[in-house]
């Protein structure tokens, strides 16, 4: 028996749910997080699951560690974790640009990032750093919504540089869930950065 149904996406956690079409107006609950969903603007499923909700991004809750799917149209709002219901700060994840960080905001922007971080350290006097900056900006555009690309000037932020034993620049450190996972030193090619980052995306 082939029951016609619609696919709707939970606004709270991003999970996709299949709802029978013969139950119009029925308040549906998300099968993942239990939140009520708006079922009014849904269309029947057609052969392949054809739902137009835009991109969905995977972000981590820093309170409980659960990964949540956030629809693109909600990414600049403060989302709630589907498991523990704590707020997840997602503002700025779709900028497509790197962000400067300092000793003062390193904790909030890097260690408490809801997505993995490519942390690029540099100095203005370093020619190798200047050579790799266009690659860093390319990756920020390509990884929009999936990876936060952060930059730190070591001459202006010696506390963070010392904390992670950054002895030469450029150095790239990969952070995930608040922990340093891997690092690269020198003007490395874009492909190598992508290979190192791949397990965390």
> DSSP characters for 83-142?
TT--EE--TTTTS-S-EE--TTTHIIIIIT-SS-EEEEEE-TT-HHHHHHHHHHHHHHHH
71 and 123 belong to one structural domain: no
Q: Are residues 139 and 159 in the same domain?
A: yes
Considering the domain boundaries, does residue 138 fall inside one? yes
Q: What is the C-alpha to C-alpha distance for residues 60 and 189, in angstroms, rounded to an integer?
A: 29
CATH number of 65's domain: 2.30.30
Mark whether 106 and 196 lie in a shared domain.
yes
Domain presence at residue 36: no
| Whether 139 and 82 share a structural domain | no
What is the token pair recorded at 140?
């920020």
CA nearest to 193, candidates 175, 180, 174, 179: 174
- What is the pLDDT at residue 87? 86
**Long-range pairs for 125-131: beta carbons < 8 A, 24 or more residues apart:** 125/155, 126/169, 126/170, 128/169, 128/170, 128/186, 128/187, 129/169, 129/170, 129/187, 131/187
> Do 173 and 103 fall into the same domain?
yes
For residues 60 and 112, membership in a common domain is answered with no
The CATH number of residue 162's host domain is: 3.40.30.10
Domain count of the fold of the chain: 2
Strands 67-71 and 56-60, bridge-based pairing: antiparallel
The predicted structure's pLDDT at residue 164: 97
Q: What pLDDT score does 57 carry?
A: 87
Q: Residue 61 to residues 56, 65, 147: CA-CA distances in angstroms?
A: 16, 5, 15
The DSSP letter of residue 27 is: P
Based on the domain organization, do 163 and 118 belong to the same domain? yes
Q: Tell me which residues are annotated as active site.
A: 126, 129
Residue 5's alpha-carbon distances to 2, 8, 13, 85, in angstroms, are 9, 10, 21, 28
pTM value is 0.70
Same domain, 130 and 181: yes
pLDDT recorded at residue 48 = 35
Residues ≥6 apart with Cβ < 8 Å to 158: 103
Closest CA to 166 of 47, 33, 156: 156
Domain boundary among 88, 112, 133: 88
- Looking at the domain assignment, is residue 93 inside a domain? no
Residue 30 lies in a domain: no
Per-residue model confidence (pLDDT) at position 10: 73
With a cut of 50, which residues of the chain have pLDDT below it? 1-3, 24-25, 41-53
Range of the domain at 80: 56-88
In a domain, 25, yes or no: no
What pLDDT score was predicted for residue 26?
58
Contact 29, 39 (CB under 8 A): no
Q: What local confidence, expressed as pLDDT, does residue 63 receive?
A: 87
103 and 135 assigned to the same domain: yes
Q: Check whether residue 83 and residue 147 sit in a common domain.
A: no
84 and 133 in a common domain: no
The pLDDT of residue 181: 97
Q: How far is CA 91 from the centre of its chain?
A: 10
Domain assignment present for residue 6? The answer is no
Give me the pLDDT at residue 53, please: 43
Whether residues 150 and 68 share a domain: the answer is no
Q: Is residue 44 part of a domain?
A: no
Residue 7 lies in a domain: no
């Amino acid at each position: 028996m082939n029951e016609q149904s619609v696919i709707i996406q939970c606004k709270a956690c991003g999970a996709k749910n299949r709802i029978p079409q013969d139950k119009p107006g029925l308040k549906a609950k998300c099968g993942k997080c239990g939140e009520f969903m708006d079922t009014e603007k849904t269309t029947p499923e057609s052969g392949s699951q054809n739902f137009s909700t835009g991109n969905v991004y995977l972000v981590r809750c820093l309170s409980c560690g659960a990964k949540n799917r956030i629809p693109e149209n909600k990414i600049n709002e403060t989302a709630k974790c589907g498991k523990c219901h704590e707020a997840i700060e997602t503002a700025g994840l779709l900028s497509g640009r790197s962000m400067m960080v300092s000793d003062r905001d390193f904790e909030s922007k890097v260690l408490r990032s809801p997505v993995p971080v490519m942390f690029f350290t540099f100095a203005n006097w370093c020619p190798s750093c200047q050579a790799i900056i266009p690659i860093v900006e390319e990756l920020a555009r390509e990884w929009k919504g999936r990876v936060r690309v952060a930059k730190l000037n070591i001459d202006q932020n010696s506390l963070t540089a010392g904390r992670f034993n950054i002895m030469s620049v450029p150095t790239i450190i990969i952070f995930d869930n608040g922990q340093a996972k891997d690092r690269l030193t020198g003007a490395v090619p874009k492909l190598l950065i992508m290979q190192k980052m791949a397990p965390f995306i």
